[in-house]
């Protein structure tokens, strides 16, 4: 991998990152997936498209998001200097909106009149509903029944934004089932409907275009950390469900050999218990939801339900580019248990006055050990990809507090 | 060289002046033994070709009927391996009815393409449909199966344009499964004229027989499709008989229920072209 752009050349013409990715969809969807790929190629070359995207990111989302030196956490851990890339300050409270804007602009270019999305924690659903309200597009959000229950505030927010919520009871009623149901809707309404996928997964070109839309995080972070510290960081840290916030942070640094990339998967009750969502650490390659990637599956190739305290990480797969970065060793992946995430959440609240979402709380739980590994001369950028307001009720329940 | 049993069956139906009745059941639903009995009942009740569903936890192209069937099968110990075991038992008793295994890619990859091809061939399977392996992704499976003379059955749909149909035809074998409507299995049927055109295009470009499926529930619908295509696939309607048997608390009665429905569908399909030409 000595060639310039060796990392950023992926995916190849078949939508593959090494052996991962691809287009594993029903024939009904193939023409649409191919059309989306062509349209996205045109949009990328169209300055008007880029200008509209950038304008919305600036004036609607509030970008660039700040790069914040977490002084007290740095002191607390006694190691490397820790910065947060504060994507939790975006409009709607997470990085998800970056991608939703890009995809809805694509949908408009393609003349689609109806938007569907799946959601786990509800952040992607809220972001999609938000952009749909902004552009006057009808929006249907598929959400597992279990998640509807544990993410009530976001369900209400989506309804306020005019979206229709479809609770999904098939399968186990979580994110993967919501995605199945969204795919079923898409195949049924293929001529009018655009499926806004929430993470850097699914059939090609989704993993690529979601990554590209989210890469604004890494581009800003690169500039900001150079301005603040005069050098590149030693490590980037981000939580991984499907992995869109992580790939958005990592991608613009892939060619910078000295920058380590560390993804943190949801370890649930612990990877050895079988109750987790760590597809790279505890899974093996397979095919689901349009792409070849690492999956939680049994010996017969049946998908195993993921478990995480965080609905946003509760998914048995991972974006194919992460599978590739894992196999090639360009990025490292660690895990964090539910209990560690809860602890990190509380630590961040008390020391920094920031309530992280449960998702980035997973990343934060590993930041302490990484900071100590790097030592005081080290420099870390962690993606604070979402805010914790949505999790307040479920955290209270986990802590045994009645509110 | 692939799939001679499939070609022979379509040829036989053509010479009898009728469409083939292609019947789908989920292997292992409601349990392994009963589903084997149901399979035999299908063949005895006029099914010309049998599609044996292999259960998957995440059947994203299926409607509620087949989703539930997959869950019943998995709960009863169903799997791709168990599906091939049932196929093998069936083949010991029936040498003529083509058997198509229909399912999703992940269990196949999990078993390994070479293993899968060997075991499917040994079980007497004639063809394979993997719903989430479009032509762009099925080369390795086709290669593995071709070594044993098995066909990869391709799907065509209402979104398959003329140019796309050429892509679908390149490497197609056995027959083309024409999905009557953009949707999941068991959905409402598409407009007859659209289906007629889609079937004609698939037949012309592939040079293969074309069977129409997705949404065929009644004898009347089956008869209409029998006039348009070389075969008619019925799945959800049969699978729902298994569900009814389970809900009655008498899972074994699925065999009798399937027999009744299959006979009526078979009669409707067999007599369709005669009735159509008289009226």
Asked if residue B57 belongs to a domain, the reply is yes
Asked if residue B192 belongs to a domain, the reply is yes
Residues of A at the B interface, defined by Cβ within 8 angstroms: 14, 22-32, 170-171, 176-177, 179-180, 183-184, 187-191, 285-290, 295, 297, 299-303
Burial degree of A61 (CB within 10 A; 0-12, 13-18, 19+) = buried
What is the tally of structural domains in chain B?
A: 1
Which residue of chain A comes nearest to B183, CA vs CA?
A188
The answer to whether residues B53 and B66 touch, using CB atoms and an 8 Å cutoff, is yes
Q: pLDDT for A42-74, tens place per residue?
A: 999 999 999 999 999 999 999 999 999 999 999
Is B108 in contact with A32 (Cβ distance < 8 A)?
A: no
d(Cα A246, Cα A38) in Å, to the nearest integer? Answer: 26
| pLDDT of the residue at A3 | 52
Is B156 in contact with A27 (Cβ distance < 8 A)?
A: yes
Asked if residue B276 belongs to a domain, the reply is no
d(Cα B205, Cα B209) in Å, to the nearest integer? Answer: 11
For B79-124, give the secondary structure using H, E and C. Answer: CHHHHHHHHHHHHHHCCCCCEEEEECHHHHHHHCHHHHHHHHHHCC
Is A26 in contact with B60 (Cβ distance < 8 A)?
A: yes
d(Cα A48, Cα A29) in Å, to the nearest integer? Answer: 28
d(Cα A292, Cα A384) in Å, to the nearest integer? Answer: 28
Is B134 in contact with A302 (Cβ distance < 8 A)?
A: no
* pLDDT for residue A275 is more than 60: yes
Q: What phi, psi does A227 have (nearest 5°)?
A: -65, -40
State mean pLDDT over A258-278: 97
For A121-139, give the secondary structure using H, E and C. Answer: CCHHHHHHHHHHHHHCCCE
Is A28 in contact with B159 (Cβ distance < 8 A)?
A: yes
Asked if residue B9 belongs to a domain, the reply is yes
Query: Alpha-carbon dihedral of residues B197, B199, B204, B207, nearest 10 degrees?
Result: 180
Q: Is B248 a catalytic residue?
A: no
ipTM entry: 0.95
CA A24 vs CA B76, B107, B212: distances in Å: 28, 14, 22
Asked if residue B279 belongs to a domain, the reply is no
Read off the CATH number of the domain in which B168 is found.
3.20.20.70
d(Cα A256, Cα A219) in Å, to the nearest integer? Answer: 13
Contacts of B269 (CB under 8 A, 6+ apart): B18, B19, B20, B21, B222, B223, B226, B232
**Per-position pLDDT tens, chain B of length 279:** 357 999 999 999 999 999 999 999 999 999 999 999 999 999 999 999 999 999 999 999 999 999 999 999 999 999 999 999 999 999 999 999 999 999 999 999 999 999 999 999 999 999 999 999 999 999 999 999 999 999 999 999 999 999 999 999 999 999 999 999 888 888 777 788 999 999 999 999 999 999 999 888 899 999 999 999 999 999 999 999 999 999 999 999 999 999 999 999 999 999 998 766 655
Interface test with A, best of B27, B28, B54, B58 (most A CBs within 10 A): B58
Residue from B29, B51, B126, B230 carrying the catalytic annotation = B51
State mean pLDDT over A203-229: 98
Asked if residue B277 belongs to a domain, the reply is no
Which residue of chain A comes nearest to B56, CA vs CA?
A302
CA A87 vs CA A61, A206, A255: distances in Å: 10, 21, 23
| pLDDT of the residue at A311 | 85
Residue with tokens 């990085």: A95
| pLDDT of the residue at A49 | 98
Q: What phi, psi does B233 have (nearest 5°)?
A: -100, 130
Chain B CB contacts of A183 under 8 Å are: 60-61
d(Cα A91, Cα A95) in Å, to the nearest integer? Answer: 9
Number of H helices, E strands in chain A: 16, 14
| pTM exceeds cut of 0.90 | yes
d(Cα A10, Cα B149) in Å, to the nearest integer? Answer: 36
Asked if residue B131 belongs to a domain, the reply is yes
In this complex, which of B67, B134, B160 lies closest to A25 when CB atoms are compared?
B134
| pLDDT of the residue at B188 | 77
Q: Is B33 a catalytic residue?
A: no
Chain B CB contacts of A188 under 8 Å are: 182-184, 187
d(Cα A320, Cα A204) in Å, to the nearest integer? Answer: 10
Is B67 in contact with A302 (Cβ distance < 8 A)?
A: no
DSSP A142-211: EEEHHHHHHTHHHHHHHHHTTPEEEEE-STTSSHHHHHHHHHHHHHHSTTTEEEE-SSS-SSTTHHHHHH
Q: What phi, psi does B144 have (nearest 5°)?
A: -65, -40
In this complex, which of B55, B106, B179 lies closest to A288 when CB atoms are compared?
B106
Residue with tokens 């259960």: B55
* pLDDT for residue A2 is more than 60: no
Nearest CA of chain A to the CA of B267: how many Å? 31
Is B80 in contact with A301 (Cβ distance < 8 A)?
A: yes
Q: pLDDT for A26-35, tens place per residue?
A: 999 999 999 9
Asked if residue B72 belongs to a domain, the reply is yes
State mean pLDDT over A153-161: 95
In this complex, which of A23, A28, A300 lies closest to B182 when CB atoms are compared?
A28
In this complex, which of B56, B110, B155 lies closest to A27 when CB atoms are compared?
B155
Which domain does B175 fall in, by range? Answer: 4-271
3-state secondary structure of A354: coil
Q: pLDDT for A94-148, tens place per residue?
A: 999 999 999 999 999 999 999 999 998 899 999 999 999 999 999 999 999 988 9
């Amino acid at each position: 991998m000595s060639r310039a752009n060796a990392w950023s050349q992926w995916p190849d013409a078949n939508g593959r990152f090494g052996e991962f990715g691809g287009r594993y969809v029903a024939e009904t969807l193939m023409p649409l997936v191919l059309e989306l790929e062509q349209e996205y190629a045109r949009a990328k070359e169209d300055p008007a498209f880029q200008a509209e995207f950038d304008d919305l990111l600036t004036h609607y989302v509030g970008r660039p998001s700040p790069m914040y030196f977490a002084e007290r956490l740095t002191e607390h851990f006694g190691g490397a200097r820790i910065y947060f890339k504060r994507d939790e300050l975006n409009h709607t409270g997470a990085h998800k909106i970056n991608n939703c804007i890009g995809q809805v602009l694509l949908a408009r270019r393609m003349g689609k009149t109806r938007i569907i999305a799946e959601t786990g924690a509800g952040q992607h659903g809220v972001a999609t509903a938000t952009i749909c309200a902004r552009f006057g597009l009808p929006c249907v959000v598929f959400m597992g029944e279990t998640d509807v229950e544990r993410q009530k505030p976001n369900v209400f927010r989506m309804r306020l934004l005019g979206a229709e919520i479809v609770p999904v009871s098939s399968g186990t009623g979580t994110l993967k089932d919501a995605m199945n149901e969204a795919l079923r809707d898409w195949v049924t309404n293929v001529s009018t409907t655009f499926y806004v996928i929430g993470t850097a997964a699914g059939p090609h070109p989704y993993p690529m275009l979601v990554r590209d839309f989210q890469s604004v995080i890494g581009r800003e972070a690169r500039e900001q950390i150079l301005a603040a510290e005069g050098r590149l960081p030693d490590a980037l840290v981000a939580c991984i469900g499907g992995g869109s916030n992580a790939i958005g942070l990592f991608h613009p640094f892939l060619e910078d050999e000295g920058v380590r990339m560390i993804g943190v998967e949801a370890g649930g009750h612990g990877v050895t218990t079988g109750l987790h969502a760590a597809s790279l650490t505890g899974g093996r390659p397979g095919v689901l939801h349009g792409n070849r990637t690492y999956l939680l599956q049994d010996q017969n190739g049946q998908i195993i339900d993921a478990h995480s305290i965080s609905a946003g990480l509760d998914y048995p797969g991972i974006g194919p580019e992460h599978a590739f970065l894992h196999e090639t060793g360009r990025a490292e992946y660690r895990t964090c248990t539910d209990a560690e995430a809860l602890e990190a959440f509380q630590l961040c609240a008390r020391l920094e006055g920031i309530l992280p979402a449960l998702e980035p709380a997973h990343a934060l739980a590993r930041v302490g050990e990484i900071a100590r590994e790097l030592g005081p001369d080290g420099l870390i950028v962690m993606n604070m990809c979402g805010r914790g307001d949505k999790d307040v009720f479920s955290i209270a329940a986990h802590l045994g507090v009645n509110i | 060289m692939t799939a001679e049993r499939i070609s022979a069956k379509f040829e036989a139906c053509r010479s009898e002046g009728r469409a083939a009745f292609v019947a789908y059941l989920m292997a292992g639903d409601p349990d392994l033994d009963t589903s084997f009995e149901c399979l035999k009942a299908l063949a005895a009740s006029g099914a010309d070709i049998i599609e044996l569903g292999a259960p998957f936890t995440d059947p994203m192209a299926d409607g509620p009927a087949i989703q539930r069937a997959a869950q019943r099968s998995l709960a009863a110990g169903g799997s791709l391996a168990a599906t091939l075991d049932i196929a093998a038992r069936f083949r010991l008793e029936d040498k003529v009815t083509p058997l198509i295994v229909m399912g999703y890619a992940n269990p196949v990859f999990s078993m390994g393409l070479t293993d899968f091809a060997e075991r499917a061939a040994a079980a007497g399977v004639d063809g394979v449909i993997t719903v989430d392996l479009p032509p762009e992704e099925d080369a390795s499976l086709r290669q593995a199966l071709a070594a044993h003379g098995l066909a990869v059955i391709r799907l065509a749909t209402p979104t398959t344009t003329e140019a796309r149909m050429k892509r679908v035809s390149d490497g197609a074998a056995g027959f083309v499964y024409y999905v009557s409507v953009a949707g999941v299995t068991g959905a409402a049927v598409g407009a007859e004229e659209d289906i007629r055109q889609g079937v004609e295009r698939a037949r012309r470009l592939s040079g293969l027989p074309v069977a129409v499926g997705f949404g065929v529930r009644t004898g009347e619908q089956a008869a209409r499709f029998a006039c348009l295509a070389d075969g008619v696939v019925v799945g959800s309607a049969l699978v729902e008989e298994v569900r009814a048997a389970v809900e009655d608390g008498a899972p074994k009665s699925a065999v009798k229920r399937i027999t009744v429905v299959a006979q009526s569908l078979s009669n409707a399909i067999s007599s369709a072209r005669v009735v159509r030409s008289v009226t």
